[in-house]
Amino acid sequence: MTEQNVFSKGLEDVVAAESSICWIDGKNSKLLYRGYDIHDLAQNSNFEETTYLLLFGELPKASELEDFKKKLAAEREIPRAVIDWLKLAPKGANPMAVFRTAVSYLALFDPEVEDNSIEANGRKALRLIAKLPLVVACFERIRKGQEVIAPKKEASVSTAANFLYMMKGKDVSAVEVRTLDQYFILLTEHDLNASTFAGRITVSTLSDIYSAMVSAIATLKGDLHGSANTRTMESLIAIGDVKNVEKFVDDAVQQKKKLMGFGHRIYKGPDPRAFDLKRMSKALADAFPGHAKWYAISEKLEQVVWEKKKLNCNVDFYSASVLYAIGIPVDLFTLMFAISRTAGWTAHFLEQYRDNRLIRPVSQYTGESQRPYLPIGKR
């Protein structure tokens, strides 16, 4: 057999699509959404405005943003049947598995689910962005034996504020809302990561946008993609005190265990998102003294890992202490990732629909050369 194609394990550095949504410069730690630097967006924008940018290519004017917020707020409801199903989900089931199935079930109630026109898919994208946070909030209350809280439908109430209200059953501080809003911005898009690529493959078959969303969520569920923030917080809890950091790292190095929240496939230097998340974690430590412990452990762990392994922390590292400080349960961290990434996912799905070609790569064959078939009695 002759080799006809260049093989790259894991498709590393293989260009698999043309996209105008996101640009990553891994060597220089740069991340741009539609040409806008992630630091500018995290510090000056909000999730709704950033979502508009990803979907439509430009930052909105004031009137456009207000109209967009109204459309999102109007979609803040999920069918009673979906809530009833969440109540039937087995206790102790993996939250991402429940979420994946709930999104699939949600598709059955969308009258436009099989309409693949650009206009219908745009409307469905807005529904997904608006409804998926509600699914997570309802799931959290149901599994705790609490009543589901009705969403706020005022356009002035942000996605972050409404989610925290529905999950906690009360309005929370402006600091918590702004922190979650910034987290959503920082995690909302990252080029052809595994989940985005999986969703684009599904779209390329001309399947519906809900199926693409389920593909993306199922891919994010994997431990090598979406769970590092959860594993990081588990590490911080296991460390328990700043004085235990060095021993924790030494033990991990000796036992050849992966240090969660460190290193990145794309970034050769620091992950640019980690800079903003560290700043956010420090601000939470200053605002909520009870959080200071987790920030202190994180900061020390970052320092020791760099000294011993020369590894930079990634987006998941300070995400852990940030989400923990605003009261997000540890096993919901990956679902928060999914909520934020929904905007980026749908932007990619719409882009794929607009200029589609079935994604069908080839493999490099490593099996036997052609062999003659032998009758069973001669084998």
* Catalytic residue positions, numbered: 264, 316
Q: What are phi and psi of 33, to 5 degrees?
A: -100, 115
Cα-to-chain-centroid distance, residue 46:
17
Joined tokens for residue 269: 């230097």
Helices 118-143 and 159-168: crossing angle, nearest 10°?
30
Q: Are 179 and 340 in contact (CB under 8 A)?
A: no
What distance in Å separates the CA atoms of residue 84 and residue 174, rounded to the nearest whole number? 32
Q: Are 315 and 349 in contact (CB under 8 A)?
A: no
325: Cα within 13 Å, side-chain hemisphere = 33
Q: Is the dihedral of CA 272, 334, 320, 137 positive or negative?
A: positive
Q: What are phi and psi of 317, to 5 degrees?
A: -65, -60
Task: Give the Cβ contact number of residue 254 at 10 Å.
Answer: 8
